[in-house]
């Protein structure tokens, strides 16, 4: 499992903010060992403007980002996922499609920054918090010793990562 590139799918209901952020984060912190994807059960049809702004401010590419249905990843010919993480509580409660290849799954719930009301600074700060929380979890994830973990132990670690907070890094 060490030289393999792992495909990671992040799921959220609307696929407009948290899952989009995670898609780009895994690609940066995974340093070529991980390929990120995102999707939603009920995609909004567009990426949230503040998610795009935050990514640009932090030197992430926004090229090719789009809000898409998770069904795209459960059809023949779709990339085979090794890991699937839900990043919102709604998606975690929904019945997910059957993913080819039986990827490992975990719930990494993050508060919805798009639901925060207020002025632009308040809303942008909510997006920053979501980005930092996802970044913390992804950094822990990509640092796991995959080659030395059996499937059961890896699943335990994935679940533990979902419980980490910003102060746990």
**Model confidence over 7-48: pLDDT tens digits?**
999 999 899 999 999 999 999 999 999 999 999 988 999 999
Query: Averaged over 67-96, what is the pLDDT?
Result: 82
43: nearest Cα among 20, 76, 74: 20
Span 97-143, pLDDT tens digits: 667 778 999 999 999 999 999 999 999 999 999 999 999 999 999 99
The CA-atom distances, in angstroms, between 93 and each of 12, 43, 86, 104 are 11, 16, 9, 17
pLDDT of residue 135: 96
pLDDT > 60? residue 91: no
pLDDT of residue 94: 59
Q: What is the pTM of this model?
A: 0.91
CATH of 6-168 given 3.40.710.10, 3.20.10.10, 3.40.50.10860, 3.40.50.2300: 3.40.50.2300
pLDDT > 90? residue 165: no
pLDDT of residue 1: 43
pLDDT > 80? residue 3: no
Using a 10 angstrom Cβ sphere, with 0-12 exposed, 13-18 middle and 19 or more buried, the burial of residue 116 is middle
Helix 120-142 / helix 49-57 crossing angle, nearest 10 deg? 60
């Amino acid at each position: 499992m060490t030289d393999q590139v792992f495909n990671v799918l992040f799921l959220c209901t609307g696929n407009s903010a948290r899952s989009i952020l995670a898609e780009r984060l895994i690609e940066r912190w995974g340093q070529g060992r991980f390929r990120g994807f995102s999707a939603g059960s009920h995609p909004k049809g567009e990426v949230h403007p503040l998610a795009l702004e935050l990514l640009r401010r932090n030197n992430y590419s926004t090229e090719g980002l789009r809000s898409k249905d998770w069904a795209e990843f459960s059809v023949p010919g779709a990339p085979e996922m090794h890991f699937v993480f839900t990043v919102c509580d709604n998606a975690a409660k929904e019945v997910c499609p059957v993913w080819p290849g039986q990827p490992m799954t975990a719930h990494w719930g993050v508060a919805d920054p798009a639901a925060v009301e207020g002025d632009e600074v308040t809303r942008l700060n909510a997006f920053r918090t979501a980005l930092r929380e996802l970044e913390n979890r992804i950094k822990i994830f990509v640092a796991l010793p995959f080659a030395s973990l059996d499937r059961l132990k890896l699943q335990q670690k994935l679940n533990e990562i979902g419980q980490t907070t910003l102060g746990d890094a």
